[in-house]
Amino acid sequence: MKKKRVFIIGLLSIMTILFLSGCSQPEEEKIYETLEAVVQLEKGFEKQQEPLVQLEEEEKAIYEKILNLGLKEIEEIQKLSDDAIALSEQRQGLIDLERESIVKAEKEFEKIKEKMNNIDEEGLKKLASELYVVMKDRYESHAKLYEQYSLGIKQDQELYHMLKDENVSLEELKDKVDKINKVYEEVYSLNERFNDLTQQYNDLKIKFYKESGLN
């Protein structure tokens, strides 16, 4: 009857650039400005991480209390289930804000596509292209992660409503928990993918800055 919980996701690195060297080309500078603007836009995403994890922990604690009560103490279970539903709704609100921040950042990031095509040096153009592909994969990964995590919340809420029903069977509850765990296993897998792509992007960005002469 245990439910799985894992949702800690990767963040973009923040680069502090003191100046642009004279050898930098205008397009590289423009790309730099866009990439750093993306970091700032994703700060809204970053702000949701700690409160989201906190809500998960609170909800988990309530669920464990419900398990320890047993099905006979239905009034207390119903109260705790309502509390858990309220927390899950807050989680959805935070993940929606996170998604909104990511979508804004993705729109800003798209601005580099035209700029990178104007880079003269072929090595830098190729590097910028690699960076672009990785970031687009990262944003696609987050879209899937958001969808799956939202599904997990919906499944959690269905479980809490089932727990409020004094006629629910243990078998029905077990089946629902099994489904929830499968959803969160996929969340974990998508989360790992997102973290990996975030790291790849951060590494490529630093390399692009260095090879562009951005100090």
Q: What is the pLDDT of residue 26?
A: 72
Average of per-residue pLDDT across 54-75:
90
pLDDT computed for residue 15 by the predictor: 47
CB 102 within 8 A of CB 44: no
pLDDT tens digits for 31-47? 999 999 999 999 888 88
Q: What does the pLDDT read at residue 25? A: 47
Indicate the SS3 state at residue 68. Answer: helix
Residue written as token pair 């997102």: 194
Give the integer Cα–Cα distance in Å for 14 and 148: 28
Q: pLDDT digits over 192-208, tens only?
A: 999 999 999 999 999 99
Do residues 91 and 113 make contact, with C-beta atoms less than 8 angstroms apart? no
Distance CA 182, CA 177 (A): 9
CA distance linking residue 13 with residue 101, whole number of Å: 16
Please give the model's pTM, rounded to 2 decimal places: 0.87
Cβ 179 vs Cβ 1: under 8 Å: no
Q: What is the pLDDT of residues 67-125, one digit of tens each?
A: 898 767 899 999 999 999 999 999 999 999 999 999 999 999 999 999 998 898 999 99
10 falls in which pLDDT band (50, 70, 90)?
Answer: low
Q: What are phi and psi of 8, to 5 degrees?
A: -130, 120
| Residues 27 and 115 sit within 8 Å (Cβ to Cβ) | yes
For the residues 18-43, what does the mean pLDDT come to?
Answer: 76
CA separation for the pair 164, 59 (Å, rounded): 16
Whole-number mean pLDDT of the chain? 88
Percent of the chain with pLDDT over 90: 72
| Residue in 50, 44, 38 with CA at minimum distance from that of residue 7 | 50
How far is residue 75's CA from residue 81's CA, in Å, rounded to a whole number?
Answer: 10
